[in-house]
Amino acid sequence: MAQFNETELTAAVVKSFEQTPNPRAKFLLQELVKSLHDYVSKTGLTFEEWEYAIDFLTRTGHKCTDIRQEFILLSDVFGVSMLVDAVNHRDRDGATETTVLGPFYVGEHKVTPHGTDVSESLEGERMFVQSRVTDLNGKPLAGVPVDIWHADGDGFYDSQKETYATEGAVSRARFITDSDGSFFFRTILPCSYPIPTDGPVGEMIMQTKRHPMRPAHIHFLVNAPGYEPLITHVFIEGDKYIDSDVVFGVKDELIAKVEKRSDPTMPDGKKADAPWHLMTYEFRVKPGGGMAPKPLGTKVAEPA
Protein backbone atom coordinates (compact mmCIF):
# COMPACT_ATOMS: atom_id res chain seq x y z
CA MET A 1 0.00 0.00 0.00
CA ALA A 2 1.47 3.36 -1.05
CA GLN A 3 -0.95 5.57 0.82
CA PHE A 4 -1.13 5.99 4.58
CA ASN A 5 -3.47 7.57 7.06
CA GLU A 6 -1.93 9.39 10.05
CA THR A 7 -1.54 6.28 12.20
CA GLU A 8 -0.32 4.09 9.36
CA LEU A 9 2.21 6.74 8.39
CA THR A 10 3.92 6.59 11.80
CA ALA A 11 4.00 2.79 11.67
CA ALA A 12 5.42 2.86 8.13
CA VAL A 13 8.24 5.27 9.03
CA VAL A 14 9.08 3.27 12.16
CA LYS A 15 9.19 0.12 10.02
CA SER A 16 11.44 1.80 7.46
CA PHE A 17 14.24 1.72 10.05
CA GLU A 18 13.79 -2.01 10.67
CA GLN A 19 16.99 -3.02 8.89
CA THR A 20 19.25 -0.60 10.82
CA PRO A 21 22.24 -2.81 11.72
CA ASN A 22 22.97 -1.19 15.09
CA PRO A 23 20.11 -2.14 17.47
CA ARG A 24 20.56 0.91 19.68
CA ALA A 25 20.55 3.27 16.68
CA LYS A 26 17.42 1.53 15.39
CA PHE A 27 15.70 1.94 18.77
CA LEU A 28 16.67 5.62 19.07
CA LEU A 29 15.51 6.46 15.55
CA GLN A 30 12.22 4.62 15.85
CA GLU A 31 11.41 6.24 19.19
CA LEU A 32 12.35 9.65 17.76
CA VAL A 33 9.94 9.16 14.88
CA LYS A 34 7.15 8.17 17.29
CA SER A 35 7.76 11.23 19.52
CA LEU A 36 7.96 13.65 16.57
CA HIS A 37 4.84 12.26 14.95
CA ASP A 38 3.01 12.37 18.27
CA TYR A 39 3.98 16.05 18.68
CA VAL A 40 2.74 16.97 15.20
CA SER A 41 -0.55 15.10 15.64
CA LYS A 42 -1.21 16.36 19.15
CA THR A 43 -0.53 19.99 18.28
CA GLY A 44 -2.05 19.96 14.78
CA LEU A 45 1.14 21.68 13.61
CA THR A 46 0.43 24.14 10.79
CA PHE A 47 2.61 24.61 7.68
CA GLU A 48 3.61 28.06 8.93
CA GLU A 49 4.67 26.63 12.28
CA TRP A 50 6.59 23.82 10.64
CA GLU A 51 8.33 26.33 8.37
CA TYR A 52 9.17 28.54 11.36
CA ALA A 53 10.64 25.54 13.21
CA ILE A 54 12.79 24.62 10.21
CA ASP A 55 14.00 28.20 9.92
CA PHE A 56 14.67 28.37 13.67
CA LEU A 57 16.80 25.21 13.56
CA THR A 58 18.60 26.45 10.46
CA ARG A 59 19.45 29.73 12.20
CA THR A 60 20.56 27.79 15.27
CA GLY A 61 22.99 25.82 13.12
CA HIS A 62 24.26 28.93 11.35
CA LYS A 63 25.04 30.54 14.71
CA CYS A 64 27.40 27.70 15.65
CA THR A 65 31.15 28.10 15.22
CA ASP A 66 34.20 26.27 16.52
CA ILE A 67 33.86 28.23 19.76
CA ARG A 68 30.11 28.77 19.98
CA GLN A 69 27.50 26.02 20.31
CA GLU A 70 23.97 27.34 19.89
CA PHE A 71 22.53 23.80 19.79
CA ILE A 72 23.94 23.00 23.24
CA LEU A 73 22.34 26.22 24.42
CA LEU A 74 19.03 25.13 22.91
CA SER A 75 19.30 21.75 24.63
CA ASP A 76 20.14 23.57 27.88
CA VAL A 77 17.18 25.98 27.89
CA PHE A 78 14.75 23.16 27.07
CA GLY A 79 16.09 21.23 30.08
CA VAL A 80 17.21 18.42 27.77
CA SER A 81 20.84 18.68 28.89
CA MET A 82 19.84 18.34 32.54
CA LEU A 83 17.55 15.42 31.70
CA VAL A 84 20.36 13.61 29.88
CA ASP A 85 22.53 14.34 32.91
CA ALA A 86 19.84 12.98 35.26
CA VAL A 87 19.19 9.71 33.43
CA ASN A 88 22.91 9.04 33.23
CA HIS A 89 23.66 9.83 36.89
CA ARG A 90 20.79 8.24 38.76
CA ASP A 91 23.02 6.72 41.41
CA ARG A 92 25.76 9.00 42.68
CA ASP A 93 26.96 6.76 45.57
CA GLY A 94 28.14 9.88 47.39
CA ALA A 95 30.00 11.33 44.40
CA THR A 96 29.70 15.07 43.74
CA GLU A 97 26.59 15.99 41.81
CA THR A 98 26.84 16.78 38.12
CA THR A 99 25.33 19.51 35.99
CA VAL A 100 25.39 20.84 32.43
CA LEU A 101 28.60 21.27 30.46
CA GLY A 102 27.23 24.45 28.91
CA PRO A 103 28.12 25.95 25.55
CA PHE A 104 31.43 27.56 26.54
CA TYR A 105 33.71 24.60 27.13
CA VAL A 106 36.34 24.90 24.44
CA GLY A 107 38.64 22.16 25.75
CA GLU A 108 42.42 22.06 25.49
CA HIS A 109 42.88 24.15 28.61
CA LYS A 110 46.47 25.02 29.37
CA VAL A 111 48.10 23.45 32.43
CA THR A 112 48.57 26.28 34.92
CA PRO A 113 50.56 26.43 38.19
CA HIS A 114 48.55 26.38 41.42
CA GLY A 115 47.89 29.80 42.83
CA THR A 116 47.79 31.51 39.42
CA ASP A 117 45.39 34.40 39.06
CA VAL A 118 43.41 33.20 36.03
CA SER A 119 41.57 36.53 35.78
CA GLU A 120 44.56 38.76 36.30
CA SER A 121 43.52 41.11 33.53
CA LEU A 122 39.94 41.50 34.74
CA GLU A 123 38.29 43.98 37.07
CA GLY A 124 36.40 42.50 39.97
CA GLU A 125 36.47 41.45 43.59
CA ARG A 126 39.30 38.99 44.16
CA MET A 127 38.63 35.40 45.16
CA PHE A 128 40.82 32.51 46.27
CA VAL A 129 39.52 29.06 45.37
CA GLN A 130 40.83 26.05 47.28
CA SER A 131 39.76 22.58 46.38
CA ARG A 132 40.61 18.91 46.57
CA VAL A 133 39.72 15.81 44.58
CA THR A 134 39.09 12.54 46.42
CA ASP A 135 37.55 9.16 45.77
CA LEU A 136 34.30 8.10 47.44
CA ASN A 137 36.18 7.13 50.63
CA GLY A 138 37.86 10.49 50.90
CA LYS A 139 41.24 9.25 49.65
CA PRO A 140 43.02 12.12 47.87
CA LEU A 141 43.63 11.63 44.16
CA ALA A 142 46.91 13.03 42.85
CA GLY A 143 47.78 14.07 39.31
CA VAL A 144 44.16 14.65 38.26
CA PRO A 145 43.55 17.26 35.56
CA VAL A 146 40.83 19.72 36.55
CA ASP A 147 39.58 22.22 33.99
CA ILE A 148 37.96 25.40 35.28
CA TRP A 149 36.22 28.18 33.39
CA HIS A 150 33.92 31.06 34.25
CA ALA A 151 32.51 34.34 33.00
CA ASP A 152 34.03 37.78 33.59
CA GLY A 153 32.56 40.62 35.65
CA ASP A 154 30.32 41.62 32.73
CA GLY A 155 29.00 38.09 32.31
CA PHE A 156 30.95 37.09 29.22
CA TYR A 157 33.23 34.12 28.63
CA ASP A 158 36.58 34.78 26.97
CA SER A 159 35.47 32.78 23.91
CA GLN A 160 32.56 35.20 23.35
CA LYS A 161 34.91 38.13 22.82
CA GLU A 162 36.68 39.26 19.68
CA THR A 163 39.94 39.39 21.63
CA TYR A 164 39.88 35.61 22.17
CA ALA A 165 41.73 34.91 18.93
CA THR A 166 44.60 37.24 19.85
CA GLU A 167 44.66 37.22 23.64
CA GLY A 168 43.67 33.61 24.28
CA ALA A 169 42.21 32.13 27.44
CA VAL A 170 41.11 34.25 30.39
CA SER A 171 39.36 32.73 33.42
CA ARG A 172 39.99 29.35 31.87
CA ALA A 173 42.73 26.94 32.95
CA ARG A 174 43.72 23.38 33.82
CA PHE A 175 45.20 22.48 37.19
CA ILE A 176 46.78 19.16 38.11
CA THR A 177 46.08 18.01 41.67
CA ASP A 178 48.98 17.66 44.14
CA SER A 179 49.85 14.52 46.10
CA ASP A 180 47.16 15.46 48.65
CA GLY A 181 44.56 15.86 45.89
CA SER A 182 44.54 19.63 46.26
CA PHE A 183 44.63 22.50 43.80
CA PHE A 184 44.06 26.21 44.26
CA PHE A 185 43.91 29.36 42.20
CA ARG A 186 42.99 33.03 42.26
CA THR A 187 40.31 34.68 40.19
CA ILE A 188 37.52 37.25 40.46
CA LEU A 189 34.18 36.64 42.11
CA PRO A 190 31.99 35.59 39.17
CA CYS A 191 28.60 37.23 38.70
CA SER A 192 25.29 36.00 37.35
CA TYR A 193 25.07 36.41 33.59
CA PRO A 194 22.61 36.10 30.72
CA ILE A 195 22.95 33.35 28.14
CA PRO A 196 23.74 34.89 24.73
CA THR A 197 20.68 36.75 23.49
CA ASP A 198 22.06 37.59 20.04
CA GLY A 199 21.04 34.24 18.56
CA PRO A 200 17.81 32.34 17.97
CA VAL A 201 17.86 30.63 21.39
CA GLY A 202 18.20 33.90 23.29
CA GLU A 203 15.52 35.46 21.07
CA MET A 204 13.15 32.64 21.97
CA ILE A 205 13.85 33.16 25.70
CA MET A 206 13.09 36.87 25.42
CA GLN A 207 10.01 36.39 23.23
CA THR A 208 8.56 33.87 25.66
CA LYS A 209 9.14 36.24 28.61
CA ARG A 210 11.56 33.92 30.36
CA HIS A 211 14.59 35.60 31.90
CA PRO A 212 17.96 34.66 30.34
CA MET A 213 20.00 34.60 33.56
CA ARG A 214 22.27 31.99 35.07
CA PRO A 215 23.29 32.31 38.73
CA ALA A 216 27.01 32.98 39.34
CA HIS A 217 29.16 29.87 39.10
CA ILE A 218 32.49 28.37 38.18
CA HIS A 219 32.59 25.37 35.85
CA PHE A 220 34.73 22.38 36.83
CA LEU A 221 35.61 19.32 34.81
CA VAL A 222 37.44 16.74 36.94
CA ASN A 223 38.87 14.03 34.77
CA ALA A 224 40.59 11.43 36.95
CA PRO A 225 41.80 8.32 35.09
CA GLY A 226 39.78 5.27 36.19
CA TYR A 227 36.91 7.47 37.43
CA GLU A 228 33.80 8.91 35.80
CA PRO A 229 34.58 12.36 34.38
CA LEU A 230 32.84 14.85 36.66
CA ILE A 231 31.21 17.76 34.81
CA THR A 232 29.84 20.24 37.26
CA HIS A 233 29.62 23.82 38.51
CA VAL A 234 30.02 25.37 41.92
CA PHE A 235 27.36 28.04 42.43
CA ILE A 236 27.67 30.99 44.79
CA GLU A 237 25.22 31.02 47.66
CA GLY A 238 22.85 33.96 47.81
CA ASP A 239 22.76 34.67 44.07
CA LYS A 240 19.51 36.30 42.96
CA TYR A 241 18.95 33.66 40.26
CA ILE A 242 19.85 30.56 42.27
CA ASP A 243 16.21 29.35 42.18
CA SER A 244 15.49 30.21 38.54
CA ASP A 245 18.53 29.22 36.47
CA VAL A 246 17.54 29.50 32.79
CA VAL A 247 19.13 26.09 32.10
CA PHE A 248 17.78 24.38 35.28
CA GLY A 249 21.32 23.43 36.31
CA VAL A 250 21.39 24.20 40.05
CA LYS A 251 21.57 21.41 42.62
CA ASP A 252 21.62 22.18 46.36
CA GLU A 253 24.85 20.30 46.94
CA LEU A 254 26.63 22.44 44.35
CA ILE A 255 25.95 25.73 46.14
CA ALA A 256 28.98 27.00 48.06
CA LYS A 257 29.14 29.59 50.76
CA VAL A 258 31.75 32.11 49.69
CA GLU A 259 33.28 33.90 52.67
CA LYS A 260 34.36 37.52 52.58
CA ARG A 261 37.79 37.82 54.21
CA SER A 262 40.01 40.67 55.22
CA ASP A 263 43.06 38.63 56.35
CA PRO A 264 46.27 40.20 55.05
CA THR A 265 47.41 36.90 53.56
CA MET A 266 45.67 34.30 51.45
CA PRO A 267 45.76 30.53 52.27
CA ASP A 268 48.97 30.04 50.25
CA GLY A 269 50.73 32.67 52.40
CA LYS A 270 50.81 35.36 49.73
CA LYS A 271 49.82 38.92 50.50
CA ALA A 272 46.28 40.16 49.85
CA ASP A 273 46.10 43.77 48.68
CA ALA A 274 42.41 44.17 49.42
CA PRO A 275 39.54 42.27 51.06
CA TRP A 276 38.96 39.02 49.23
CA HIS A 277 36.60 36.06 49.03
CA LEU A 278 37.29 32.44 49.83
CA MET A 279 35.62 29.55 48.04
CA THR A 280 36.28 26.10 49.44
CA TYR A 281 34.83 23.09 47.69
CA GLU A 282 35.85 19.43 47.43
CA PHE A 283 35.03 17.00 44.66
CA ARG A 284 34.40 13.29 45.15
CA VAL A 285 34.58 11.16 42.06
CA LYS A 286 33.15 7.75 41.36
CA PRO A 287 35.10 4.82 39.93
CA GLY A 288 34.25 4.04 36.34
CA GLY A 289 34.97 5.25 32.89
CA GLY A 290 33.29 7.41 30.36
CA MET A 291 34.41 10.08 27.99
CA ALA A 292 35.23 13.60 28.95
CA PRO A 293 33.67 16.17 26.61
CA LYS A 294 35.62 17.00 23.51
CA PRO A 295 36.62 20.54 22.62
CA LEU A 296 34.07 22.38 20.51
CA GLY A 297 34.61 21.94 16.81
CA THR A 298 35.72 18.31 17.20
CA LYS A 299 33.94 15.92 14.88
CA VAL A 300 31.98 13.55 17.13
CA ALA A 301 32.10 9.87 16.19
CA GLU A 302 28.99 7.72 16.05
CA PRO A 303 28.34 6.18 19.49
CA ALA A 304 29.24 2.48 19.75
Question: At its nearest, how many Å lie between Fe ion and the CB of residue 219?
Answer: 5
Q: Which helix (H) or strand (E) element contains residue 39?
A: helix 23-43
| Neighbour order of strands in the sheet with 217-222 | 172-176, 145-149, 217-222, 230-236, 255-256
Give per-residue burial for 217-232: e unless 16+ CB within 10 Å, then b: bbbbbbbbeebbbbbb
Q: Which one, 191 or 285, has the nearer CB to Fe ion?
A: 191
Q: Which residue is nearest to Fe ion (CB)?
A: 102
Q: Which one, 246 or 285, has the nearer CB to Fe ion?
A: 246
Q: Which one, 102 or 202, has the nearer CB to Fe ion?
A: 102
CB atoms within 10 A of CB 19: 7
Active site residue 150: no
Active site residue 214: yes
Q: What residues contact 165, with CB distance under 8 A and at least 6 apart?
A: none
Report the amino acid identity of residue 221.
Answer: L
* CA 115 to the chain's CA centroid: 24
Active site residue 241: no
The site map against Fe ion for 99-118 (x = CB under 5 A) is: ---x----------------
Residues 215-244 that bind Fe ion (CB under 5 A): none
Residues 21-50 that bind Fe ion (CB under 5 A): none
Single out the catalytic residue among 126, 132, 214, 284.
214
Active site residue 217: yes
Residue 256 main-chain phi, psi, to 5 deg? -110, 145
The site map against Fe ion for 75-104 (x = CB under 5 A) is: ---------------------------x--
Active site residue 233: no
Q: If binding means CB under 5 A, how many residues of this protein chain bind Fe ion?
A: 1
C-alpha–C-alpha distance, residues 127 and 150, integer Å: 13
Q: Which one, 102 or 181, has the nearer CB to Fe ion?
A: 102
* 8 A C-beta contact, residue 296 and residue 107: yes
Which residues form the interface with Fe ion (CB under 5 A)? Answer: 102
Q: Give me the active site residues, please.
A: 157, 193, 214, 217, 219
